[in-house]
């Protein structure tokens, strides 16, 4: 199988080829490794490759009931962990760290037949909208390597957009699935809170703000992946029960929807004309498909929203750094951590129990406001980001004089709509709906009520059919390689 042919299929398509015997798992694995070898030097999307898995892979598993049997896949170097493989989280502090067990999500990826060929780059502990770090270097956008693919799942986005793999694991605390999806022309679904499992090592991932899923090139891959992973594991603190098959839902277009268009971010930030134009075009497309669209939003206090993000992020930074420093027997210093992480660590040490309770209670305020809103509207449309893709490495997390409050404010201002969906726990999906003046993709986000992931996927599939993006490929793309 040539890498040109390989890159032309999404994950569902590759799995079908393998299942039908048209191509072997070994051939697919070799094509993926060739694509990685060809493209990764220019993109720095992978922190580590596992070539032995492709070189020794055979068809011994053919016939198993695996939805993604033999499909190449990558784990983000953060979140879901694999036993015996490094998980360094983009940090010098955790260099050489190896989990001794698979997370529940990794178990489900393997049960689905996915072939994990490596781990993708992330900013340090996922704390930046630019996937660059002192430990891992700068990750670049395949549409134009001078620009960033976003963060913190930028390595996953660059790998999928360039055709190294059709699908890759990603995490999202404040936009880390949706921002890279927007900047690289991908589908980025942030599922409902705890629809995908976060255990066994976590019960409330950042007090329920953070989730995990995948970045894909097609809507059907996002749906099929959710079919393979959704649902609680034993002992979940709380969870969103999965609906009927998300893949099956795609066969039925949504009925007429009442859609709210929102171009007024909850965190004040100027909107780039390209993202405004893409969002308005998406709203017009929804109208042309028979949906009712009107401008509407729900109100939130900006200061309280920033306080929530600032406090929860700092608290988890302090806790995580303390635990990892002890486990790795390494000091907490500029020799092991970037200055933005250190600023969060110091800020977290000053927090009180009252501070934490205040912001956890505020998450309830946001969730209730969103819940009331989505009783009257099926979907909200917003820009995914306020900005277009910045230059790669332009966000310096190790610069002198970083203040935590400023870092959080600037990170959140890059995608000033997105944090609300994390706090509320509702599903949100970014779709590629336009380009900026440099020819780099722009994303538009569609959100809905808690547990309404299937409806979002139905609408996304309808939009994908009406305005297909599969034929648009980046400059650095496996399908262009000879």
Instruction: Enumerate residues 6+ apart whose C-beta is below 8 A from 370.
Output: 298, 420, 421, 424, 426, 449, 450
pLDDT value of position 257? 99
List alpha helices for 146-204, DSSP H: 154-161, 178-184
Give me the residue label for tokens 């340090």: 124
pLDDT value of position 57? 57
Tell me: the pLDDT tens digits for 264-303?
A: 999 999 999 999 999 999 999 999 999 999 999 999 999 9
Query: What number of residues does the chain have?
Result: 482
Tell me: the pLDDT tens digits for 195-245?
A: 999 999 988 889 999 999 999 999 999 999 999 999 999 999 888 989 789
Residue 144 forms beta bridges with which residues? 141
Residue ranges of domains in the chain: 3-480
Closest by CA to 395, choosing from 125, 152, 174, is: 152
Residue 150 forms beta bridges with which residues? none
Instruction: Enumerate residues 6+ apart whose C-beta is below 8 A from 479.
Output: 3, 4, 7, 8, 163, 473
Q: What CATH number was assigned to the domain covering residues 3-480?
A: 3.90.1300.10
| Rounded Cα–Cα distance for residues 327 and 99 (Å) | 11
| Rounded Cα–Cα distance for residues 198 and 393 (Å) | 30
Q: What is the radius of gyration, based on Cα positions, of the chain?
A: 21
Tell me: the pLDDT tens digits for 446-472?
A: 999 999 999 999 999 999 999 999 989
Catalytic machinery residues: 76, 152, 176
Tens of pLDDT along the chain (482 residues) come to 999 999 999 999 999 999 999 999 999 999 999 999 999 999 999 999 999 999 865 555 555 689 999 999 999 999 999 999 999 999 999 999 999 999 999 999 999 999 999 999 999 999 999 999 999 999 999 999 999 999 999 999 999 999 999 999 999 999 999 999 999 999 999 999 999 999 999 888 899 999 999 999 999 999 999 999 999 999 998 889 897 899 999 999 999 999 999 999 999 999 999 999 999 999 999 999 999 999 999 999 999 999 999 999 999 999 999 999 999 999 999 999 999 999 999 999 999 999 999 999 999 999 999 999 999 999 999 999 999 999 999 999 999 999 999 999 999 999 999 999 999 999 999 999 999 999 999 999 999 999 999 999 999 999 999 999 998 999 999 998 75
pTM, two decimals, is 0.98
């Amino acid at each position: 199988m040539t890498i040109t042919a390989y890159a032309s299929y999404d994950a569902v398509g590759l799995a079908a080829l393998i299942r039908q015997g048209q191509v072997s798992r070994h051939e697919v694995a070799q094509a993926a490794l060739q694509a990685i070898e060809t493209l990764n030097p220019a993109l720095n999307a992978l922190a580590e490759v596992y070539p032995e898995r492709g070189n020794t892979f055979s068809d011994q598993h053919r016939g198993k009931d695996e939805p993604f049997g033999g499909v190449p896949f990558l784990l983000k170097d953060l979140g879901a962990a694999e036993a015996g493989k490094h998980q360094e989280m983009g940090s010098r502090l955790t260099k050489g760290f190896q989990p001794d067990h698979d997370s529940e999500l990794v178990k489900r990826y393997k049960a689905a037949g996915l072939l994990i060929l490596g781990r993708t780059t992330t900013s340090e502990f996922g704390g930046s909208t630019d996937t660059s770090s002192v430990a891992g270097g700068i990750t670049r956008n395949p549409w134009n390597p001078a620009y960033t693919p976003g963060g913190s799942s930028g390595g996953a986005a660059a790998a999928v957009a360039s055709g190294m793999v059709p699908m890759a694991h990603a995490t999202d605390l404040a936009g880390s699935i949706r921002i890279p999806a927007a900047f690289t022309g991908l589908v980025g679904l942030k599922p409902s809170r705890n629809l995908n499992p976060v255990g066994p090592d976590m019960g409330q991932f950042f007090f329920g703000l953070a989730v995990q899923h995948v970045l894909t090139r097609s809507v059907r891959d996002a749906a099929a992946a959710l079919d393979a992973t959704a649902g609680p594991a034993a002992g979940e603190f709380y969870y969103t029960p999965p609906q009927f098959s998300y893949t099956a839902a795609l066969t039925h277009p949504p009925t007429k929807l009442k859609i709210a268009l929102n171009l007024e971010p909850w965190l004040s930030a100027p909107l780039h004309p390209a993202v405004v134009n893409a969002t308005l075009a998406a709203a017009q497309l929804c109208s042309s498909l028979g949906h009712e669209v009107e401008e509407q939003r729900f109100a939130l206090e900006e200061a309280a929203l920033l306080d929530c993000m600032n406090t929860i992020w700092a608290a988890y930074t302090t806790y995580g750094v303390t635990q990892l420093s002890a486990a790795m027997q390494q000091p907490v210093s500029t020799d092991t951590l970037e200055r933005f992480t250190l600023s969060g660590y110091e800020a977290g040490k000053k927090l009180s129990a009252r501070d934490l309770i205040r912001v956890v209670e505020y998450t309830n305020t946001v969730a209730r406001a969103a819940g009331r809103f989505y009783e009257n509207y099926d979907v909200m449309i917003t820009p995914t980001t306020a900005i277009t893709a910045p230059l790669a490495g332009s966000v310096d997390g190790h610069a002198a004089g970083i203040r935590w409050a400023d870092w959080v404010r600037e990170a959140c201002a890059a995608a000033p709509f997105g944090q609300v969906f994390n706090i509320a726990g509702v599903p949100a999906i970014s779709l590629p709906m336009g380009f900026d003046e440099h020819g780099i993709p722009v994303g538009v986000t569609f959100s809905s009520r808690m547990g309404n992931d299937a409806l979002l996927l139905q609408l996304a599939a309808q939009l994908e059919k009406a305005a297909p993006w599969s034929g648009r490929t980046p400059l650095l793309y496996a399908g262009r390689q000879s």
